[in-house]
Amino acid sequence: MKIPILYGPRDLRMEEHPLDTDNLKSKDIWIETEISALKIGTDRGNYEGAEQVPGAPGYPRWVGDSNLGIVRGIGSEVTRVQVGDRVVTRQPHQSEYITDESASIVKVPDGVHPEDAVYTHLYALSGHCYRKGNFQPGETVAVVGLGVLGLGAVGLGQPFGARVVGIGNSPIRLEMAERMGAHAAFLYNDPDLDAKLDEFTNGIGIDLVILTANPWPAFRTSLQIVRDNGRVSVVSLLGRGEPPLDFNPLPMELFYNKGISIIAVSGAPGYLYPTPETRFNNDRQGDYIVSLMADGLVEPKRLITHRYHYTEIVKAYEMAYHREKSMLGVTFDWKD
């Protein structure tokens, strides 16, 4: 099997590793990758050697976590999938692999395009931003940071019943936000941003901000635009790769006086009607996301701007490293 391994900042090498598919254990699932997707923010941070995320592997390490493939073999006790099923997992970029049945796996229904399905887990995380942020249908939501994760949150807004505005740093990203279903999109440094948001919300203000951008200025924008007693749902890795702060991240006028809630999108959401297992775990959220895809309500493939063969993976990571603004959704084809 072929797998790219990162040995240090900007040192990504494609390697050939053995894979024993003839002796599967009882709970093993052998999957052959069809396509994988680049999650630009996190993957770029890993590639360039930004501050390590707690719990993340050190060097040498795998890269990527959005993988769509076809089940080619199963162990004797596997019940979740059958040979021939299409599945999306959180496995790294690689041509094929063996995983345990207990791992994160979502079956893809017939009719769902592979370039939509490969974003299932990323969209599940985008959806988690709403659920963890205690979203209620009819609320106004601002998504600050219009990368793939942020655009996923934009794309889920209408199916979830939100009025969504995208806040970004590039006209290209604003255009993509509107293409993905945003009711409006504005630059973060627009001198008339407050007035435009006031008009957008009919004077009520932004109920929930979903923050997907890492830079501290994006955090400050989020605190500024959320209404009094509103919520800021933080899924970004704030300050990753940036110098120390030169301002108070929780100034009285933007935090205490406004009475806002800042929520980390990590861990299970609160739920009034608990079940023996977490009702909205990652895979169950993924099942819901692919059902929306099957119904034609969300189409992540709209955000794909670059398609590469797996042999060009370093080229793609280098483009991400150089902050190519035209680069949003990126997929890798693993067919030889």
Whether 272 maps to a domain, the answer reads: no
- The domain boundary, picked from 207, 239, 264, lies at 264
Cα–Cα distance measured from residue 183 to residue 209, given in angstroms and rounded to the nearest whole number: 15
pLDDT of residue 252: 95
Cα–Cα distance measured from residue 173 to residue 229, given in angstroms and rounded to the nearest whole number: 29
- Please check whether residues 141 and 252 belong to one and the same domain: yes
Whether 319 maps to a domain, the answer reads: yes
- Please check whether residues 183 and 73 belong to one and the same domain: no
- Please check whether residues 144 and 39 belong to one and the same domain: no
Query: pTM for this one?
Result: 0.90
Residue 30: exposure state from Cβ atoms within 10 A (0-12, 13-18, ≥19): buried
Using the Cα atoms of residue 235, residue 317, residue 325 and residue 308 in order, give the sign of their dihedral: negative
Cα–Cα distance measured from residue 180 to residue 188, given in angstroms and rounded to the nearest whole number: 18
DSSP character string of 230-271: EEEEE-S-TTTT-PPPSS-SS-TTTTTTTT-EEEE--SPPP-
Specify whether the CB–CB gap between 243 and 217 falls below 8 A. Answer: no
- Please check whether residues 116 and 210 belong to one and the same domain: no
- The domain boundary, picked from 264, 290, 310, lies at 264
Which residue range(s) make up the domain with 325? 2-121+279-333
Cα separation of the two ends of the chain: 12
pLDDT of residue 44: 86
Whether 40 maps to a domain, the answer reads: yes
pLDDT of residue 54: 67
Residues 6+ apart with CB under 8 A from 146: 154, 166, 167, 168, 170, 173, 174, 176, 177, 185, 212
Reference 118, options 64, 68, 153, 156; nearest CA is 68
- Please check whether residues 90 and 48 belong to one and the same domain: yes
Strand order in the sheet with 140-144: 184-187, 163-168, 140-144, 206-211, 226-234, 261-264
pLDDT of residue 268: 81
Whether 129 maps to a domain, the answer reads: no
- Please check whether residues 104 and 70 belong to one and the same domain: yes
- Please check whether residues 62 and 144 belong to one and the same domain: no
For the chain, the 3-state helix, strand and coil shares in percent, each to the nearest 5, are 30, 25, 45
CATH number, domain at 40?
3.90.180.10
Residue 243: exposure state from Cβ atoms within 10 A (0-12, 13-18, ≥19): exposed
Q: CA dist 148 to 13, 43, 97, 101, 208, Å?
A: 25, 12, 25, 28, 19
CATH number, domain at 181?
3.40.50.720
Cα–Cα distance measured from residue 164 to residue 297, given in angstroms and rounded to the nearest whole number: 15
Whether 9 maps to a domain, the answer reads: yes
- The domain boundary, picked from 264, 288, 318, lies at 264
- Please check whether residues 251 and 284 belong to one and the same domain: no
Counting the structural domains of the chain, the total is 2
pLDDT tens, residue order, the chain (336 aa)? 999 999 999 999 999 999 999 999 999 999 999 999 998 878 888 898 876 766 778 889 999 999 999 999 999 999 999 999 999 999 999 999 999 999 999 999 999 999 999 999 999 999 999 999 999 999 999 999 999 999 999 999 999 999 999 999 999 999 999 999 999 999 999 999 999 999 999 999 999 999 999 999 999 999 999 999 999 999 998 988 788 888 899 999 999 999 999 999 988 887 778 777 788 888 999 999 999 999 999 999 999 999 999 999 999 999 999 988 888 899 999 998
Whether 270 maps to a domain, the answer reads: no
- Please check whether residues 241 and 283 belong to one and the same domain: no
57, two tokens: 């592997």
Residues 6+ apart with CB under 8 A from 266: none
- Please check whether residues 292 and 235 belong to one and the same domain: no
Which runs of E-coded beta strand occur in the chain? 2-6, 12-16, 28-38, 67-74, 86-89, 96-100, 105-107, 140-144, 163-168, 184-187, 206-211, 226-234, 261-264, 304-309, 329-333
- Please check whether residues 193 and 111 belong to one and the same domain: no
- For residue 177, the SS3 value is helix
Whether 286 maps to a domain, the answer reads: yes
- Please check whether residues 55 and 27 belong to one and the same domain: yes
Whether 216 maps to a domain, the answer reads: yes
